[in-house]
Structure 1
Amino acid sequence: MSKAKGATMRRIQAGNALSAFGLGFTVPYLYVYVAQVRELGASTAGAVLAVFALTALVVLPFTGRVIDRRGPLPVLAVASLLASGGALAMGQAVGVPAVVLSAALLGAGTAVMQPALATMIVWCSTPSTRTRAFATQFFLQNLGLGVGGLIGGQIVDGSRPGSFTLLFSIEAAMFVVLAVVAATVRMPRAPSIPGAMPENTDGRARGGLRTLLGHRAMVQLCVLGFVLFFACYGQFESGLAAYGTEAAGIEPATLGYALAANTAVIVLAQFLVLRFVERRRRSRMIAGVGLIWAAAWLVAGYAGLGHGGQAMAAAAFIATYALFGLGEAMLSPTVAPLVADLAPESMIGRYNSAFAVVKQLALAVGPAVGGPMGATLHGPYIVTFVLFSLGISVLALRLGRNLTAVQDQPSLASASRIVVRHRPERGRARAGV
């Protein structure tokens, strides 16, 4: 990576960390703010959380095309200012219409940021450095969210609405900082892996969705991504939390400790795990995540059995979240850069946006399915998500058969100057195997 690219990457990562820091101030307290502080009730608070997901699903399908045509910088700048306005409005909102509109602005802005930031990281990296770049982004996001949440917890006071207004104002300021970063950096352009599509890439890129749906490896990755987010992130604050309190009988405070353990594992293990992941095939690492998460669900099942008393149940539940964190640390250097390495150079924004849509769908469906199951169908809930986790391993290994050697193991790019075709020849799983 050149010095210019390195300097630009550092500024992008710093802006990304600050925006995550701002989000950390408000995300844990949004429900309490709407339902209790503004006295709008639990149903309105639930509607506000739903608006975030719905708004993302509305704006993301159009985001990728704009990024590919205009570049990620102006898109990120506009999205940051939109989110900033939504955060400021949320801090002042007192009625249902104002709260819902503020949530829509904030949700749209934060949703568009994801593919824009991902595209910027792609442009400032090469296939061999992309793994570490996305791992760094994930590390800084979790660190920012964790630190923001801790500081926000010291500021917030349910009896003083002004304390929440301060939190949303800080969040808005962080988004403005990200917009300033987007407006001042000079972006180099780094192409994705040569031959990202099998043939006639430039001519077919205009086909947009049709081209993407005709790309077998990308479709497989989207299916895998849906299962990943559905089986993990879609359960954190819904089904798994309901299961823990209902079946395992843990105290609500233990959920906070479990989430803290999850973040701590990610922050502490990310770069240790990265050294292990960088030299290995992505498909096998994702398959390993499926096995780790299957073990996590089994530990959660043990917590619900009630053997060993309350303390043992709490410890098992915290261990469940910690195991999820280990899997997340392995995913961050594999899945996101793989999306970029599959994309033709002219469609990087659309590929990132398509994957973001899949993520949002999983995050919307996950709580709707997992919440009721976790609260009432304790045994079937655990069995279902053990099977989903094992399904991750199967899907990852199948995806590996449709990746080139360099796409599956980017470290080979620095070891060889040979350009590998996108799709392996028929009858062969991978070039060189």
Structure 2
Amino acid sequence: MTTAMGAALRRIQLGNALSAFGNGFTVPFLFVYVAQVRGLGAGTAGIVLATFAVAALLVLPFIGRVIDRRGPLPVAVAGTVSAAAGSLGLGLASSEPLVVAAAAALGAGMAVIQPSLATMIVWCSTTATRSRAFAMQFFLNNLGLGVGGLLGGQLVDTSEPSSFVRLFAIEAVMFLVLGAAVATVRLPRAPKVEDAVPGAASDGRGWRTLLGDRAMVQLCVLGFVMFFACYGQFESGLSAFAVEVTKISPATLGVALAANTMTIVAAQFLVLRLVEGRRRSRVIALVGLIWAVAWVAAGLSGLVPGAHGVATALLISTYALFGLGESMLAPTVAPLVADLAPPRLVGQYNSAFALVKQLALAVGPAAGGLLAGAGLYVPYIGLLIVCSLGIAGLALGLGRRLTSAQDNPVRTRVVRTGNATPAEVGERVTVAA
């Protein structure tokens, strides 16, 4: 990696960490803020949370083409401005229409930022350094969210609306800091996406190309199951199971959530060293098996209500195992999306995968909430164990569609010659480990 690429990447990562820190200030308290502090009721709070998902689903199908046509930098800046306006609007709004409108602006802005930053990271990294770059992004995101949530909890006062206005103002400033950071970045031409410069538009057939890419379609299916079986359950079915079946207190549930974040922060770079040089498909398959064990532990925690200490330990281990799996996916999945993408469609592929994630995060809580609400906890745990085992099977199947360079880029090298044709530039060959 050149010095310029490294400096640009550090600037992107720093801005991203600060925005995650600001986001951590507000996310844990949004429902309470809308329902109680503003006195708009639980129904409006639910609408606000749903608005985030709807706004993202409306934006993501189109933003990939814009990224590829205009470049990720101006799109990311526009996303930060929208997110900052939405965050500040939430802090100042006192009526249902204004709160929903602000949530839409914040949700759309955050949806735009995600694939834009992913594309910028691709441009500022090489095939060899991309896993570490995405692992660093995931680490900083979780660290920022954790620290922000911890500090936000100390500053918030449900009897004082101005304390929430302060939190949302801090979040808005952090989004603007992210925008300023990326606005000053001079994007280099990374080898993998050297043709994807601003103004180098795709041929208008981005979705057709993507849907014809069987490996990418299979990765999207795999991604949906992954996000459904893990992230989509944190705030719905799993939380309900923990409180209603395992009988832990809300405070202990907070400890379990903290265990998830702490595992990610503590294990990320150790895990990175272990997974680098391994086949990506097999790493993802191992994550599926780890999550299957996590769901088994969750189920067992509901079978020993008399041994409260054991049940609590099992449930906390569930969240910790999820964190271990997440830390293994961070340097694996996002770089794989980038390596599957044609040079002029990196933004399209990143936004498509972000759309799949958003769909899973919309369906997951709904499905988990319905099963938990109906008291169908045994089918619920069984479904998630099957989904986790399905992740392992889908990952191994995906591995058969990947080239050796896509599945294990550390064991490949880029071959470049002075008289190579454009089609030959970037050709990857396998070398001995």
TM-score (norm 1): 0.93
Alpha-carbon distance in structure 2 between the residues aligned to 1:421 and 1:221 = 23
SS at match of 2:126: coil
Cα offsets for 1:183-203 (capped at 9, x unmatched):
1111012142899xxxxxx99
One-letter code aligned to 2:257:
L
Alpha-carbon distance in structure 2 between the residues aligned to 1:222 and 1:374 = 27
1:371 Cα deviation after fit = 1.2
Cα offsets for 1:93-137 (capped at 9, x unmatched):
111001100100000001110000000000001111101000000
1:310 Cα deviation after fit = 1.9
Q: 1:296 touches 1:324 (CA, 8 Å); kept in 2?
A: yes
One-letter code aligned to 1:407:
Q
**Cα distance change, pair 176–51 in 1 and its aligned pair in 2 (3 A):** same
Q: 2:16 touches 2:137 (CA, 8 Å); kept in 1?
A: yes
Q: 2:413 touches 2:428 (CA, 8 Å); kept in 1?
A: no
Cα offsets for 1:137-170 (capped at 9, x unmatched):
0000000000000010110000000000000000
1:387 Cα deviation after fit = 0.3
Q: 1:6 touches 1:124 (CA, 8 Å); kept in 2?
A: yes
Alpha-carbon distance in structure 2 between the residues aligned to 1:82 and 1:102 = 9
Cα offsets for 1:165-220 (capped at 9, x unmatched):
0000000000110111121111012142899xxxxxx9985311111100000000
Q: Which sits farther off after the overlay, 304-313 or 126-135?
A: 304-313
One-letter code aligned to 1:150:
L
Give matches, 1:281-360, under 5 Å: 281-360=279-358
Alpha-carbon distance in structure 2 between the residues aligned to 1:194 and 1:39 = 52
Alpha-carbon distance in structure 2 between the residues aligned to 1:194 and 1:227 = 32
Q: Please, which runs of 5 or more residues in structure 1 have no aligned partner? A: 196-201, 425-429
1:227 aligns with 2:216: no
Match of 1:404 in 2: 403
Alpha-carbon distance in structure 2 between the residues aligned to 1:414 and 1:165 = 52
Cα offsets for 1:46-87 (capped at 9, x unmatched):
110000000000011111011001101100111101100111
1:249 Cα deviation after fit = 1.1
Give matches, 1:249-268, under 5 Å: 249-268=247-266
Q: Which sits farther off after the overlay, 64-73 or 368-377?
A: 368-377
Q: Which sits farther off after the overlay, 305-314 or 365-374?
A: 305-314
Match of 1:133 in 2: 133
Alpha-carbon distance in structure 2 between the residues aligned to 1:417 and 1:319 = 48
1:67 aligns with 2:76: no
SS at match of 2:133: helix
1:295 Cα deviation after fit = 0.1
Q: 1:127 touches 1:193 (CA, 8 Å); kept in 2?
A: no
**Cα distance change, pair 431–206 in 1 and its aligned pair in 2 (3 A):** farther
Alpha-carbon distance in structure 2 between the residues aligned to 1:421 and 1:126 = 11
Alpha-carbon distance in structure 2 between the residues aligned to 1:373 and 1:242 = 10
1:293 Cα deviation after fit = 0.1
Q: 1:192 touches 1:342 (CA, 8 Å); kept in 2?
A: no
**Cα distance change, pair 219–205 in 1 and its aligned pair in 2 (3 A):** farther
Q: 1:299 touches 1:320 (CA, 8 Å); kept in 2?
A: yes
Alpha-carbon distance in structure 1 between the residues aligned to 2:155 and 2:128 = 42
Alpha-carbon distance in structure 2 between the residues aligned to 1:113 and 1:385 = 30
Alpha-carbon distance in structure 1 between the residues aligned to 2:18 and 2:53 = 22
1:421 Cα deviation after fit = 10
SS at match of 2:187: coil
Q: Which sits farther off after the overlay, 225-234 or 305-314?
A: 305-314
Alpha-carbon distance in structure 2 between the residues aligned to 1:400 and 1:431 = 18
1:26 Cα deviation after fit = 0.2
SS at match of 1:127: coil
RMSD, matched Cα: 2.3
Match of 1:164 in 2: 164
Give matches, 1:339-418, under 5 Å: 339-375=337-373, 376-414=375-413
SS at match of 2:39: coil
One-letter code aligned to 2:301:
A
1:183 aligns with 2:183: yes
1:95 aligns with 2:95: yes
Cα offsets for 1:5-48 (capped at 9, x unmatched):
00000000000000000100000000000001001111111110
Q: 1:56 touches 1:360 (CA, 8 Å); kept in 2?
A: yes
Aligned residues: 422
Q: 2:86 touches 2:103 (CA, 8 Å); kept in 1?
A: yes
Q: 1:37 touches 1:159 (CA, 8 Å); kept in 2?
A: yes
Q: 2:193 touches 2:344 (CA, 8 Å); kept in 1?
A: no
Q: 1:404 touches 1:423 (CA, 8 Å); kept in 2?
A: no
SS at match of 1:305: coil
Give matches, 1:262-277, under 5 Å: 262-277=260-275
Cα offsets for 1:316-359 (capped at 9, x unmatched):
11110000000000000000110000001100000000000000
One-letter code aligned to 1:391:
G
1:410 Cα deviation after fit = 1.1
Give matches, 1:82-121, under 5 Å: 82-121=82-121
Alpha-carbon distance in structure 2 between the residues aligned to 1:382 and 1:161 = 39
One-letter code aligned to 1:385:
L
Match of 2:46 in 1: 46
SS at match of 2:278: coil
SS at match of 2:117: helix
1:413 Cα deviation after fit = 2.4
Q: Which sits farther off after the overlay, 184-193 or 94-103?
A: 184-193
1:306 Cα deviation after fit = 2.3
Alpha-carbon distance in structure 1 between the residues aligned to 2:315 and 2:382 = 16
SS at match of 1:286: helix
Give matches, 1:190-201, under 5 Å: 190-192=190-192
Alpha-carbon distance in structure 2 between the residues aligned to 1:139 and 1:416 = 32
Q: 1:205 touches 1:211 (CA, 8 Å); kept in 2?
A: no
One-letter code aligned to 2:394:
L
